[in-house]
Homo-oligomer: A and B are copies of this chain.
């Protein structure tokens, strides 16, 4: 990360990284498939921690709360290094191929969390939706927090979770005015002919 920040992502070679770390290029490739992967090593580690935390989450929590709680637990150590997190985010934003890999890592995270929720007995589709939402909550909170670190990472996560629920729920307040259904869901789609 220090090398990337010093010289810019494109200017750093795998040989440079290996040399700085006191490794051979071959050792590098034993750990990472390519240069991009080195940027996301912390995400892979976070994913492992999220899955471990989720296995410990209170059985009474619903899927979204359980997943968000697991993110908050796993990310707690990150909360001590807002400058590093901000620099890492700026690095990813600087480079299209890192943005692509970042999206792949988020999809992988959501998929892994969904699998862990299923192992808690959550039905497949609910697990997928909750995992996706929890991943969105976490990435949104991380982005808030790197720009406003004094708030703290955990409160940022709680705030993003509350905002997500409010954003998706607001329709219900108006459901009675435009076609609310007996099951509490608004029917918004024109039926097929």
Contact = CB atoms under 8 A, between A and B. Distances in A.
Contacts of A167: 63-64, 125-126, 129-130, 133
A193 to B, nearest CB: 10
B64 A163 contact: no
Contacts of A163: 125-126, 129
A50 to B, nearest CB: 14
A58 B143 CA distance: 32
A49 interface: no
Interface residues of A, number: 58
Contacts of A69: 188-189
A166 interface: yes
A170 interface: yes
A130 B140 CA distance: 13
A107 interface: yes
A61 B186 CA distance: 10
Contacts of A133: 133, 167-168
A47 interface: no
Contacts of A190: 72-73, 154
